[in-house]
Chains A and B, each alone.
Chain A
Amino acid sequence: MSMRSVAGGIRFVAMLAALAAAFGPASGWTQGAQKTLRFIPQADLRSIDPIWTTAYVTRNFGYLVFDTLFALDKEFKPQPQMVDKWTVSDDKLTYKFTLRDGLKWHDGQPVRAADCIASIERWAKRDQFGQKLMEAVGSIKPDDDKSFTIALKAPFPLLISALGKLSSNVPFMMPERLAKTDAFQQIPEAIGSGPFKFVKEEWVPGSKAVFVKNAAYVPRKEPPSLAAGGKIVKVDRVEWLYIPDTATAAAALNAGEADWYEQPPADILPVFAANKDVVVNTVDPLGNMGVLRFNHTLPPFDNQKMREAVLNLVDQKDYMRAVAGEDKYWKTCGSIFICGGTPFESTAGAEVLLNGPNPAKAKQLIQEAGYKGERIVLLSATDQPIVQQQALVTRERLAAAGLNIDLQANDWGTLITRRASKEPIDKGGWNLFHTWTAAPDMLSPALNIPLRANGDKAWFGWPKDPKLEELIDAWFKASDPAEQKKLADAVQAEAYKEVPYVPTGQFVVPTAYRKNLDGIIIAPVVFLWNVEKK
């Protein structure tokens, strides 16, 4: 190479450097605006309608953009949120609600009672708790622009709890023009009255969603408490950066390109150990519950003895070690309504599960059931590690007990399609599958969907147990907390007798964030208000 070409090369590099200086930001790539919170969410935001889909990422999106009439506090009690005052008649049949002053939609229009009525009606078409509420509702009518009345045909003591439902589907309020959208179709835009505005123009599905502070939002005066209280926004802008690769997401947090990584998997946590600027914490103390579901319409699990046999084979410790790793991230839990100080936590009927596996008893039950080695199809999804890990444990446990397990690994999209099939297994049917549910979706008989045993109307697996349904109905009608607790215990005891599903343990997913974040709310749902970036 000649000296001339070397000099040319140097000139080219110098030119690039000059261009960089001329066009690049002075602060470099690791520095954004001081008040921008860069958040790596648990999943990609695919839909902006939290009524149309139950996806948790859309629920979390909903909490930023929309608001609720009531919201749960940290004692799991519903507190007014958009509602200012409410009254209930002596016969418990008439509820009157008045909205707070100053509530506005993001398009500047005032929030009206008619908007809230349309929102409740749309939500109730999709949510099972809402459907149960609507069975008791006679009419919902506006009294004026700020007030409305719900008239009931029969008392429904859980009405306020329903309107303050914490997790999917959350009864978010929307303008009437959006809430009139068919509940099985998506709303075209996300106009809410929540503390953040969604910037649709900057939304790149699969990569980025942007929110800005809603300057017109009037927060409540009470301090934040779970989903209730004042939603005070302390940043100007929130950027959700979806980073699909966990190692890259961890590196981005370590390098300061992101401020908060919502759900780093357990195996990536050691990456943060050496970084004194990153905090690993559990901000969702309740976490999630693993589930092993039976197909009650097909042999052999149409036989109660076979389901009880499997219950006797389950050791939650095995499942949780496979799913959550370190002991501090999981616990065994016999309560189908979640452990950890929740209102209906109970050990009623859970002795079989809590006393550990009993293979001898399981073997006896299998013999009594007349099982002859028929093939048992266990569906799994390799793209969902929590599902796959549970399925591997189940295969080992059940095969060791002499069951003929056919583990069929699919992707999640295929699994959730196949599980809707009631065909025999030689025509694509199934016997078992695993999933998991966030704790807020299991806190009571109203919320725990896999518990329902109303046959064809029940969740996939279609258990049928009239006694269990009677107990759940009685629970819905109970107004006294002590009576509710007693009935919840009875529901759980019956569930362990009939075994609609087996809980495989309770686990938390820690979160990781930069040390300069403060004010993160301890809750089973990620809320981004009150978070300060110092």
Chain B
Amino acid sequence: MFAYIVRRILATIPVMAVVAIFVFALLYLSPGDPAAIIAGDTATVEDIARIRAKLGLDEPVYIQFGSWVWRLMQGDLGISIFTNLPVAKLIQQRLEPTVALTIATLIVSISVAVPMGVLAAWKAGRWVDRLVMVFAVLGFSVPVFVLAYILIYIFAIRADLLPVQGYVSISAGFWPFLSHIILPSAALGMIQSALIARITRASMLEVLAQDYIRTAQAKGLGNEQVLIGHALKNAAVPIVTIIGIGVALLIGGVVVTETVFAIPGLGRLTVDAILRRDYPIIQGIILIFSGAYVLINLLVDLSYTLIDPRIRY
């Protein structure tokens, strides 16, 4: 097991190296120039050239790549071209909102979707099952921003129960934090719930058709024990997998939710950096994302051993 973990962690190095080279190449092949954005609309070609020189953007690509890798090896992600702040600090500023939103969304989606999926499988073909499937279809079909606006209108504007936008750190108080995270996590949780509910239902249906379930029922076990103790535990591997994928998607893919609710998270940092060609941020953040994805996948794989004792590494 330990050897497996070490092997997997070592395997992240070439993965991240490939990602770094790919991202660097992509950035320098795509059009756009941060110097032109900095110089502004009325700048001259000479102004832009001088800013490029000061930023070191006029150096050959291999030299720029080399100096970036050298700094990276010293733990320095670089300095944002625009804000003049360290990329590490910008990522650190954005990490808490994204992690908080991700965890809150997972809590919402798992607590809603897993019971729904189990219930739908147990009552397969009946109205409860159909209701859950309608919910799942709706969850996939309604865009996050539409749901977000509906939630804002109902709970923030009409009822004045929750704030419209923004993020407050948990260090500023539990209720201010919670009040700002409820609507975004509910909006984002809808899609996640739909996905997890469908997978849970499918996985449960398969397990419920197994002989050992029938045996358990014949032995007189109650429904709760059969569903939770026997069926759900054996159906958990695909559910955990889909939750793991969901976490990875949430970390990098919550741009729309962060934009609608004005949450300063990593997704928005990435998009803003791309729009203004802030290369050090883009490079730093994609590297961090790729590392996080690898780590999450590793954790998901390791969790299989806890769920299913037959799995060994």
Q: Which A residues are within 8 Å of any B CB, using their own CB? A: 16, 19-25, 29-30, 44, 46-49, 52-55, 126, 128, 168, 182, 184-186, 188, 204-208, 241-245, 247-249, 251-252, 254-255, 257, 383, 410-414, 416-418, 420, 435, 437, 441, 449-450, 457-460
Contact = CB atoms under 8 A, between A and B. Distances in A.
A416 B54 contact: no
Contact of B41 (A20, A30, A245, A437): A437
A126 B47 contact: yes
Interface stretch (B207-215, B237-245, B259-267, B291-299): B259-267
A29 B179 contact: yes
A182 B54 CA distance: 9
A413 B277 CA distance: 7
Contacts of A417: 31-33, 36
B31 A24 contact: no
Contact of B259 (A126, A244, A251): A244
A413 B152 contact: no
**Which of B163, B165, B176, B180 has the largest number of chain A CB atoms within 10 A?**
B165
Given A54-B41, A248-B165, 6 more contacts: A46-B83, A47-B82, A186-B84, A241-B262, A251-B164, A417-B31
Nearest to A58: B40
Contacts of B168: 29
Contact of A441 (B42, B166, B260, B262): B42
B38 A257 contact: no
Interface in B209-264: 259-262, 264
A247 B149 contact: yes
B141 interface: no
Contacts of B178: 16, 20
A245 B83 contact: no
B158 to A, nearest CB: 10
B45 interface: yes
B269 interface: yes
B303 interface: no
A387 B156 CA distance: 34
Given A19-B174, A248-B261, A257 B166 contact: yes
A244 B262 CA distance: 7
Q: How large is the interface on B (under 10, 10 to 19, 20 to 34, 35 or more residues)?
A: 35 or more
Contacts of B54: 182, 184-185
B36 A53 contact: no
B277 A257 contact: no
Given A23-B174, A206-B268, A248-B262, A53 B40 contact: yes
Nearest to B273: A206
A383 B167 CA distance: 25
B258 to A, nearest CB: 9
8 interchain residue pairs of minimum CB distance? A24-B175, A54-B40, A207-B264, A20-B175, A46-B82, A23-B174, A417-B33, A413-B32
B37 interface: yes
B45 A46 contact: no
Contacts of B69: none
Contacts of A204: 93, 264
B275 interface: yes
Contacts of A254: 157
Contacts of A437: 41-42
Interface string B139-170: 00000000001001100110010111111100
Contacts of B48: 420
A24 B261 contact: no
Interface of B: 31-34, 36-48, 50-51, 53-54, 80, 82-85, 90, 93, 149, 152-153, 156-157, 160, 162-168, 173-176, 178-180, 259-262, 264, 268-269, 272, 275-277
Contacts of A248: 152, 164-165, 259-262
A19 B164 contact: no
Contacts of A52: 38
A241 B166 contact: yes
A246 B156 CA distance: 16
B174 A255 contact: no
Contacts of B82: 46-47, 205
Contacts of B262: 207, 241-245, 248-249, 252
Contacts of B42: 54, 128, 168, 437, 441, 449-450, 459
Contacts of B261: 248
A49 B50 CA distance: 16
Nearest to B85: A205
18 contacts: A20-B174, A23-B176, A30-B163, A48-B84, A168-B40, A168-B42, A184-B51, A184-B54, A206-B268, A252-B164, A255-B160, A257-B164, A413-B31, A417-B36, A420-B48, A441-B42, A450-B42, A460-B45
A458 B45 CA distance: 9
Contacts of A257: 163-166
A255 B176 contact: no
Contacts of A420: 33, 36, 45, 48
A396 B52 CA distance: 37
Contacts of A22: 174
Contact of B272 (A44, A55, A410): A44
A206 B164 contact: no
A25 B175 CA distance: 8
Contacts of A19: 174-175
Contacts of B90: 205
Contacts of A55: 40
Contacts of B164: 248, 251-252, 255, 257
A45 to B, nearest CB: 9
Contacts of A54: 39-43
B84 A47 contact: yes
Given A47-B84, A54-B43, A420-B45, A410 B31 contact: yes
B50 A184 contact: yes
Contacts of B36: 413, 416-417, 420
B185 to A, nearest CB: 15
Contacts of B162: 29
A432 to B, nearest CB: 16
Given A53-B38, A255-B157, A459-B44, A414 B32 contact: yes
Nearest to A127: B42
Contact of A53 (B39, B163, B269): B39
Contacts of A16: 178
Contacts of B174: 19-20, 22-24
Contacts of B276: 46, 413
A3 to B, nearest CB: 15
B268 A244 contact: yes
Contacts of A48: 84
A117 to B, nearest CB: 22
Nearest to B46: A457
B138 to A, nearest CB: 22
Contacts of A249: 165, 262
